[in-house]
Amino acid sequence: MIGHDHGGPAGYGQPGASTGSTYVPPPAPSPFPQPAPQPSAKPRTSLAVALEQSRYRLMVTAAVVTTVFTAISVKLAMATLLAGGGEPRQHVALEVGDTTTNRADITDRNGNLLATSLVTQSLYADPKLVSRPEEAAQKLVSALPDLDYKDVLGKLSGDRRFVWLKRNLTPKQQAAVHRLGIPGVAFEREERRFYPAGPLTSHIVGFTGIDNNGLAGMEQGFNKRLTEEPGTPLQLSIDLRLQHVLKKELAATVQEFSAIGAAGIVFDVRTGEVLSMVSLPDFDPQDPTGLNPDTLFNRATLGVYEMGSTFKIFNSALAFDTGKIRVSDMFDAAHPVKIGRFTINDYHNLHRALTVAEVFQHSSNLGSVRMVQQVGVAAQKAFMTKMGFTKPTGLELPESGWPLVPNPWREVNSYTISFGHGISVSPMHTVAAAASVINGGLFHKPTLLKRQPDGEVPTEQVVSRQTSDMMRRMFRFVVTEGTGKSAEVKGYVVGGKTGTADKQKGKHYQKNSRMSSFLGAFPMNDPRYIVYVLVDEPQATAKTYGYATGGWVAAPAVGRIVKQIGPLLNVPVVDENTPEILNSTYLNAAGSTNWQQSLPPVTAPPPAKGSTVASFPTQTKPR
């Protein structure tokens, strides 16, 4: 059978296809659009890969930089806008807590500042970080002219990693260096000791070294206390007002008599407190280096001297305290005393026997020797030891001298010691011992620390009250009738004792080289204070008629000091001729303490004519 062809492509039953093939219809078209055929991918070159990697790296770097700058911007905004930006505020520049120092202040008894610590900046460098030492050295010297260029250059060119350039800069100096902006140069916080009173208290307060450690005075003596208790001031017994007066008068005396130095002490006889102490010449504690050692030497405590006739205070007290000698006893002062190859005589021989009162009044060496002959060598040595003359005073200063005492203590030594030669002690020894002689016989260890009003004062009875009472009268007698008349100050009942000692140079004494002194006390009816002045090698003047002894040199200075400090110490001015004052201070050359017996007889004036009133004679007080 012949089939029928329905048409289609060849081979699919379309006309022309071979006979016998099956017809398959074409697939229906897709209702969805078909993607255009993709061309085949070309291989990537190495340049294209490198560019793509670079692009990724730039994007990461940009992201990191953006993050960092965003953080900086936020911090800056917080610091300036949200945290009080603009001009620096005071509490930002200097916090109170930052000024805390590591060393306590030192004050006088009234709270006046004598020493304090200030926070400072010190300049240092790390030479390894200084790129141009020559240029840096020139800049530093221009900002700090006191620096040496070669020294600075040597430090900046060295191999060390730390060198000090200048310690304790002022704020102005620090600012000048800071503006230089030198790499490798920086500041270190330190402390510097500052002394508001300057040289006025230099021998008392002392000074510290570059590292703020005490090197002299109370700074050294209390170095541990000052560093362990920095918040508690160390209060001294010194009164800055008295210090001004004492130094002024000592300086005037040194100048007037062309002396090489002087020392002065104001002492409270009731408590043992040193109220004032001056040694001349003095020094600036801010810069004590490079000075003459004589200026650093404390004549009041470290220097030990033969005190001359002021030692007759203790010779007399010894004589009275043994009970063997009375004030009215007579001693030969006309004939010299010979012992071995030595001859002892008086400066002004009166060529007659003297009472003990006159021995003290005229400062007789011969009378003093006769007195100690009766007392004995052993008793003298024991008494001088009890008065503290064989060891340091125990004052808080490290500058405390050891006495020079004879060993062995022989008869010839006892003779010379009776009038102040042959034994050397410090002025502080003399003052502390003299205080016990007039205050009722109570020895108080001297101190530079203020005692509390209710605190216990260490006390030792060294002489009897009867001896002390007689010594007060002897003190007063020297000023009213003896060698200390120029120390008198009306209303303050001043007493005391002069002293003049030739200085020993080598094995001989130099007559024109002497120590002139006066130990004064007031008021003698109820002693409260001692004022002591010692002048080293004063030269006589026309005003003193060629004399340079204690009565002409030191006694007037004590009088001027008492006149000025009496009101400051609230010592009342009294009438020295009232019975109450005379009963406790009067003494005459004969050794009598009864002032009424010394009054001249007074006869009653004849009654007026026609008067019927009886008249009675009255006694007048001596003036």
Active site residues: 309
How do 106-107 and 234-235 pair as beta strands?
parallel
Q: 241: helix, coil or strand?
A: helix
Phi, psi of 321 (to 5 degrees): -70, -20
> Structure tokens of 534?
């010692």
The answer to whether 309 and 417 are in contact (CB under 8 A) is: no
The radius of gyration of the chain's CA atoms, rounded to the nearest angstrom, is 48
The residues pairing with 192 across neighbouring beta strands, listed in sequence order, are 118
Cα-Cα-Cα-Cα torsion 169, 172, 173, 176, nearest 10 degrees, comes to 150
Distance in angstroms between the alpha carbons of the first and the last residue of the chain: 191
Cβ neighbours, 10 Å, residue 423: 22
Q: What is the maximal distance between C-alpha atoms in the chain? A: 215
Tell me the HSE value of 56 on the side-chain side, using a 13 A CA sphere. Answer: 6
Q: 264: helix, coil or strand?
A: strand
Assign 3-class secondary structure to 291-331.
Answer: CCHHHHCCCCCCCCECCHHHHHHHHHHHHHHHCCCCCCCEE
Handedness of CA 200, 204, 205, 210 (dihedral sign): positive
Q: 93: helix, coil or strand?
A: helix
Write the DSSP string, 571-612: PPP--TTSHHHHHHH---TT----TTTTSPP-PPPPPPTT--
Nearest to 495 by CA among 438, 440, 577: 438
